[in-house]
Amino acid sequence: MHPTDRPRRLRTDGVRPLVSETSLSASDLVAPVFVDATADERVPIETMPGHERVPVDQAVARVEEIRETGVEAVIVFGIPESKDPEGTRAYAEDGVVQRAIRAITADTDAYVVGDVCLCEYTDHGHCGIIESDAETDPTLTVKNDETLALLAETAVSQADAGADMVAPSAMTDGQVRAIREALDGAGHADVALMSYAVKYQSAFYGPFRDAADGAPAFGDRRHYQMDPANRREALREARIDAEEGADVLMVKPGLPYLDIVGDLRREFDHPIAAYNVSGEYAMLHAAADKGWLDLEATAHESLLSLKRAGADLIVTYFAEDLADRL
Ligand code: PBG
């Protein structure tokens, strides 16, 4: 009797939940929050519908809105009052992120992650200290080793403010060990470290750079972020960060790099995070606006696919909207 194999038997409404291999829940999600030292009221982010930059005095309210949907974890990004070549507002005790983290951890039970990078704080928009003639010589960019101490200082200042976890995203070689040692030395052995271990030089970050005002003033990030053509290199990056003491390994962006999420899942016992980035969010919104896609269904399918590929947690701008439904 043909067909003998009938997978459709397991697709009735009654049995589908029993055989479902992957699930998505609010507890898998981390919601980004943008805190803006230059704003005195909430400012909508045009390229990311539904998201706003909020003044520091609104940070707690913003986080409580997110927690009401069931999402308990947030990652905090800052827009400083001023920028300079060394990104000093990234590691200032009274920096915008430090003030926001202090308020959020004092007044809410949220799990708070600090993004550790300099690009939002440097006037040139690169993720670290740059060579003096980098502007005219495109082969030059971030001075790796000189940047390490500043990233470590940024992480410690966020931990001092109460961050539960720090997440270095500068793609500076050696940043995980530099930060881990600095945290431990400052009495923050319990602060977790999620490394943006595998961060590609991606065109999908476009809307974020508007949101956080962190686009490079010249050149691009190809000398420090990974080449999208490379797959084996992702394992090498992840291995280095695991060795240096990362607690969680992240792949970024998410959907275009599902193969990488799968590779890391197979190779490591660490929790794997995926960053469903601003471009992934913006493109679904743009298509839905035109009536070409169902926003909620495609957003859900995107995040479920990241879980299926092997992600344990997902940083996503859809967190709030989807959590309500989960
Ligand atoms: C660096 C950082 C960026 C993002 C998160 N952290 C920008 C970049 O590397 O250019 C992008 C996130 C997104 O696109 O959603 N501070």
1 domain residue, yes or no: no
Q: Best substitution site from 30, 121, 169, 284 to test ligand 1's pocket, by max atoms within 8 Å of Cβ?
A: 169
- Supply the range of the domain harboring residue 208: 24-323
5 domain residue, yes or no: no
Contact 44, 36 (CB under 8 A): no
Contact 113, 164 (CB under 8 A): yes
95 domain residue, yes or no: yes
The answer on whether 127 is annotated among ligand-binding residues is yes
The pLDDT, as a whole number, for residue 140 is: 66
Instruction: Kindly report, residue by residue over 21-36, the tens digit of the pLDDT.
Output: 999 999 999 999 999 9
Mean pLDDT over the full length of the chain: 96
The pLDDT, as a whole number, for residue 139 is: 66
13 domain residue, yes or no: no
The pLDDT, as a whole number, for residue 217 is: 84
314 domain residue, yes or no: yes
Looking at the DSSP assignment, which residues form a beta bridge with residue 274?
Answer: 251, 314
Backbone phi and psi for residue 187, each to the nearest 5 degrees, phi listed first:
85, 20
Q: Are strands 52-54 and 43-44 parallel, antiparallel or unpaired?
A: antiparallel
Q: Residue 279 is which amino acid?
A: G
Q: What is the CATH number of the domain that holds 63?
A: 3.20.20.70
81 domain residue, yes or no: yes
What is the distance between the terminal CA atoms of the chain, rounded to a whole angstrom? 41
- As for how many domains the chain has, the answer is 1
Instruction: Kindly report, residue by residue over 249-296, the tens digit of the pLDDT.
Output: 999 999 999 999 999 999 999 999 999 999 999 999 999 999 999 999
- The reply to whether ipTM tops 0.90 is yes
Instruction: Indicate whether 214 pLDDT > 70.
Output: yes
318 CB near ligand 1 (under 6 Å): no
Instruction: Kindly report, residue by residue over 89-107, the tens digit of the pLDDT.
Output: 999 999 999 999 999 999 9
250 domain residue, yes or no: yes
Q: What is the mean pLDDT of residues 127-144?
A: 80
Instruction: Indicate whether 42 pLDDT > 80.
Output: yes
Q: Annotated catalytic sites, by residue?
A: 199, 252
18 domain residue, yes or no: no
